[in-house]
Each structure stands twice: as C-alpha cells, then as structure tokens.
C-alpha cells in the first residue's frame, strides 16, 4: 500500500487535493450499452428481459413464474437462514424503523388575515421499485435501508429486483425482503431490471420511483430513466473521511478506513489529523492488519490509488477540509467531537466519538446508510421518508381574498406580459 500524504500547510495543497479527488472514471461506453438495453425492454418487454437475463446473468427464463417471488413465498426463506442471522435482520429492521418514524411529516392548513385557507397535503408515492445486488453477494442491509423509509412513508406497493446467480437466489436477501414486507421480488438485475420497473412488461408492473444501489450499468440506467420515473440518487464509489486528533487507537481508525476500502477498488478512504506521527502510526497498523483481510487485494488497491492521509494545522482547519470533500461518511474521532460538529456543513452522515464506527451506521444504528457520494453532500441528503412522499399545496381563496390578491396578481402578470393570467384573476374581483 502507498502512503499518500498531503500537508495542508504546504503551497498548492488545495490544488493537489482537488486533483486527487477528481474522478477520472469514464462511463460513456456503458451509457451507450445501457441505452440499447433500455430501448429493447421498452419495445419488447419480457422477451428482451429474458434475453438479457440469459446473456448477463446466465439464467434462462421460460415463464414469469420462474422469476417472480410472492410475499407468501418470501416467508419461507426466513426458515432457510441461521436463526442468529434472522434475529439480527429483525433487530436492525426494528431500529431503522424507529428512527425513520421520527421523520414523518404531517399535512397542515392555516388561515391568513383575509380568511384564505392554505396548506400542504402529504401523500405517499404509490409504487416503488428497490434494486438490491444479489447473486453470490448478500446485502440484507440494502433491503432494510431502502424499504423501511418507503414503508414508513406509506407506499402501497414495493417491488424488489435482485438478480439470481445461475438461477439461484440469495436466501439472506430474500429473508430480509420478507421481514421488511416487500410485496413481490423479481429475480432479475442489471439495466434490464431498471428498464422493466420503468416501462413495465407483461410480467413486471411499472413503478413511480426506483431506489437502491447497483453497479455502473444500474447507475447509468437510473440516470437515463430519470424523468420517466423518480430515482433516489446516482451513487458513486463509497467513501469515508476520518478526523482524528490521535485520541482514538490507531488500529481502530485503520479498521474504519478499511471498512470502506473493502467495498471497491474505487472506494476512497481519507484520514485527516493534526499529528503527522499519528498519520504514520495508522498507516503502519494498516500494513499489519492487511494480511488478515479476506478482501486484501481490493483494499490494497483502493488505499494505494484513492487513500489520502492529510495533515491539518488544527482541528478547525480539519473540518474545513472535510467540508470541501463533502464525504458520504464523516467520522469525528476526537476527544471532544461535538465541539467540531457545529463547523460541519457538508456530509452525508456524521459519526461522533471513538466508539461510533461507521460500520454501525451501515447496519443497525438507525439512520439510513443510503447517502450522497462524490461531493454531492454539498447539495443533497441521505435517503429518508421524505423521498417517498409528495407534498401537494392546497388553496381555498375567499371572496375578500380574491379581491385583494387579484390586484397583486394582475400587476405582476402584466409586467410579465401574461395578460390572460391577470384577466383570469380580475374576473373574481
């Protein structure tokens, strides 16, 4: 692994940091392939869905029953996994549900001084599609984090897509889908699954919004169908920034950095510290721990290519650097972490104190782990109940109100050259 050190006290630090953070990933070729797949699904429905499932997932479907798993069928998977794992899924589901219930918005109305009634009606989205990686990988946490806020919001129909591997579904993913109350699972994946949820086929009912993580093909598909359906976000590689003053044991921080590096070779792990010896100590611990990791090759490539160790002159400066990065996950692992929280403006989620490892947030602490990446935390938030509701404005104007507001409306409409607007308002005067 390479020790990529940046010193914030040196000239050109900002330029070097931005250059290091810049993504050079080119998805133009993927976008072209995905566009073809989506067009085929839109035109040919199940026929193209079957074709691409065989081509990419090595699964040959001959009838819809082969890739549909009903709510009743899902229940059986709870008995197929170890009891301790099922209990862990249920415990995480309960904690995440309790947190998201705090996010529920309520409709409201009020009267102004003219007697006009105004308000906002909260309505859940009617149908949602959730993409969950499947096959040989098991991500029950993705099921929980994407489905729970939709359920709490009151979404009536939740369909999940999760690809099988050579025709075999993942028992853990299916058991999690049962626990959280998914209505139907389609064992399909990739861009073709996004297309099926967007346009609908004879077998797959279209949805109003699609959420959930996936590979570059899934991300491209979500980007291209946005507008026809809603989406949560275009997720980039996972990332973590840790601010530490040396108070937390170096081995703990090394492990926290590894927790993101093991996701993908493009993942980014960054440590910001006010102590250069501590930065080196953490790196030394990483070199000791790496041989014990099952995803050693991925971690080493991720740290060498995307890992950064940053020396900051003080903790306030450390928070300024973190705000510039706007990370998906930000650990403030210092002696007095709450003192720094007031300085944080850009982060998907903040983890305070040496006992608050990011991994706890990924699985069971309560808040959602679907978070903005690649600097998008500067203008967006993590997945929440708000992503599954619509806010409809409601107005009821009185006769007195119409008289008063018509003059204002007419004056503004005339200035914009929209005379029909003004006339429509003045008729009520």
Catalytic residues: 328-329
Nearest Cα neighbor of 147 from 126, 124, 111, 176 is 176
Strand, coil or helix: what is 393?
strand
Phi and psi at residue 214, to the nearest 5°: -170, 180
**Distance, C-alpha 421 to centroid of its chain:** 41
The residue ranges of DSSP E strands in 157-263, in sequence order, are: 157-161, 184-186, 209-211, 230-231, 239-244
Strand, coil or helix: what is 293?
coil
CA–CA dist 407, 418 (Å, integer) = 14
Phi and psi at residue 37, to the nearest 5°: -60, -45
Q: What is the DSSP letter of 165?
A: B
Query: What tokens appear for 282 in the block?
Result: 């953490």
Instruction: Output the CA–CA distances (angstroms, integers) from residue 16 to 21, 240, 310, in the order listed.
Output: 9, 19, 11
Nearest Cα neighbor of 167 from 41, 50, 72, 61 is 61
């Amino acid at each position: 692994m390479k020790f990529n050190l940046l010193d914030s006290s040196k000239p050109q630090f900002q330029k070097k940091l931005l250059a290091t953070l810049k993504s050079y990933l080119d998805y133009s070729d993927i976008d072209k392939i995905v566009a073809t797949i989506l067009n085929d699904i839109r035109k040919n429905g199940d026929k193209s869905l079957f074709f691409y499932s065989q081509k990419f997932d090595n699964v040959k479907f001959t009838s819809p029953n082969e890739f549909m798993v009903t709510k009743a069928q899902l229940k059986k998977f709870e008995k197929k996994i170890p009891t301790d794992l099922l209990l862990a899924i249920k415990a995480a589901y309960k904690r995440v549900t309790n947190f998201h219930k705090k996010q529920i918005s309520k409709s409201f109305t009020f009267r102004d001084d003219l007697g006009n009634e105004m308000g906002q009606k909260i309505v859940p989205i009617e149908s949602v599609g959730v993409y969950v990686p499947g096959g040989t990988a098991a991500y029950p946490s993705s099921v929980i984090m994407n489905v729970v806020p939709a359920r709490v919001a009151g979404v009536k129909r939740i369909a999940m897509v999760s690809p099988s591997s050579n025709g075999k579904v993942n028992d853990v993913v299916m058991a999690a889908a049962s626990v959280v109350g998914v209505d139907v699972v389609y064992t399909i994946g990739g861009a073709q699954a996004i297309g099926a949820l967007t346009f609908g086929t004879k077998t797959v009912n279209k949805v109003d919004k699609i959420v959930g993580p996936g590979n570059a093909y899934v991300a491209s598909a979500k980007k291209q169908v946005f507008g026809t359906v809603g989406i949560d976000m275009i997720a980039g590689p996972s990332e973590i920034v840790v601010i530490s003053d040396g108070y937390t044991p170096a081995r703990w921080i090394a492990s926290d950095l590894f927790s993101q590096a093991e996701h993908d070779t493009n993942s980014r792990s960054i440590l910001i510290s006010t102590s250069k010896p501590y930065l080196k100590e953490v790196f030394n611990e990483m070199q000791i721990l790496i041989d014990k990791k099952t995803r050693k090759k991925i971690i080493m490539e991720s740290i060498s290519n995307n890992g950064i160790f940053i020396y900051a002159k003080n903790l306030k400066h450390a928070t300024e650097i973190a705000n510039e990065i706007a990370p998906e996950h930000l650990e403030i692992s210092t002696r007095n972490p709450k003192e720094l929280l007031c300085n944080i403006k850009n982060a998907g989620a903040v983890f305070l104190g040496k006992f608050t490892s990011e991994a706890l947030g990924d699985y069971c602490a309560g808040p959602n782990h679907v978070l903005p990446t690649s600097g998008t935390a500067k203008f967006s938030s993590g997945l929440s109940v708000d992503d599954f509701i619509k806010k409809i404005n409601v107005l009821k104007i009185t006769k007195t109100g119409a008289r008063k507001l018509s003059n204002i409306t007419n004056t503004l409409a005339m200035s914009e050259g929209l005379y029909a607007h003004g006339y429509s308002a003045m008729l009520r005067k």
